[in-house]
Amino acid sequence: MKSFLSEFISSLTPYTAGEQPQDRRYVKLNTNENPYPPSPGAEEALRSFDGAKLRLYPSPNADALRDAIARAEGVERENVFCGNGSDEVLALCIPAFFDKEGEGAAFADITYSFYPVFCDFFSVPYRIVPLKEDYTMDLAAFSRLRCKGILLTNPNAPTGIGINRDTMDAFIAENPDKLIIADEAYMGFYGESAVPLVKKYSNLLVVKTFSKYYALAGIRCGYAVGNPELIRGLFAAKDCFNSYPVDALCQAVCAAAVSDADYYAAAAEKVKSERTRLRQELVKLGFFVPESAANFLFAGHPKGGEFIYRGLKERGVLVRFWNTDKLKNFCRITVGTPEEDDALLSALREML
């Protein structure tokens, strides 16, 4: 049968999301969802939303949500862009800021694996910088590299290792001719956001999501904070694809969530406390686990990541495993509730 797919799309290797099996009830620790519910304000916005508004198009620029984010982040509306999840925002960054012919983008070899997919999709060249032996970012190597811009996940995924704001400040200052895209999906569990540096550097764009810290993975919303020129570039890219990427219900719920700072700070403290406990228990079981600044742990074991992943899945616990040379000994484990983590630890003790 004749294939109607283009040669281009047939040549791509798409991103693989964390599995969502439905064959049984699992303790789900593989996609870094927040173990605690959205804030009361977000839930009230959901309950009280006027369904009659659904017949109308939402605000194309999500202005009310941008205002709420601007207040929370200490910037102006003109510094904020909203999209259908941070994945969409990051994807739009590629055509907005990089050319098909040129110095291209750069990112680490072990980081968010959507970056090379985005670059391949938009035919943008890219350079890869290996992590150091201790799994930290080699910022000096990025500074030496010729490229137009750098995608820097902070805290990094899947390692969970963070870069503090002072280090980021120095790094951005060293690279005034490169666009620095700080992907801060997990920053709420670290507290060292580069957003305050946006007022200082025109070459910095910070991308965040409502999926992790704000416990709204099911509603799909993300945003970027940066210089107004960068924000205008994102709007231009957006309007070549979809004028209304953030629906009206999403805008209302996320605006309420970002205004509930105290609730989310308290929930994050519970995650961080449990992160410490879980790491200590994993180390006792023979795992190598770097200190994490995110809501997950990067856990290596002599028996290998696949052994851990498959053994846990058989026992009803899901974790994330990548069958690659550099990651094959590791699993990424989301920090769950104490009860979920106890189930994980009980399964591991049985296996090991």
Q: Encode pLDDT of 277-300 as tens digits.
A: 999 999 999 999 999 999 999 999
Could you tell me if 168 and 190 are in contact, meaning their C-beta atoms sit under 8 angstroms apart? no
Q: Is 231 exposed, middle or buried (0-12, 13-18, 19+ CB in 10 A)?
A: buried
Cα–Cα distance between 66 and 49 in angstroms, integer? 18
**Domains along the sequence of the chain with CATH:** 7-37+262-351 (3.90.1150.10), 40-260 (3.40.640.10)
Neighbour tally for 266: CB within 10 Å: 11
Q: Are strands 222-226 and 80-83 parallel, antiparallel or unpaired?
A: antiparallel
Cα–Cα distance between 254 and 41 in angstroms, integer? 9
One DSSP character per residue, 178-219 reads SEEEEE-TTGGGT---SGGGGGT-TTEEEEEESSSTTS-TTT
Kindly report whether the peptide bond that precedes residue 158 is cis, defined as omega within 30 degrees of 0: yes
Q: Are strands 179-183 and 204-209 parallel, antiparallel or unpaired?
A: parallel
pTM of the predicted model, to two decimals? 0.96
Residues of the chain with pLDDT > 90, as a percent, come to 92
Write the pLDDT tens digit of every residue in 154-202. Answer: 999 999 999 999 999 999 999 999 999 999 999 999 999 999 999 999 9
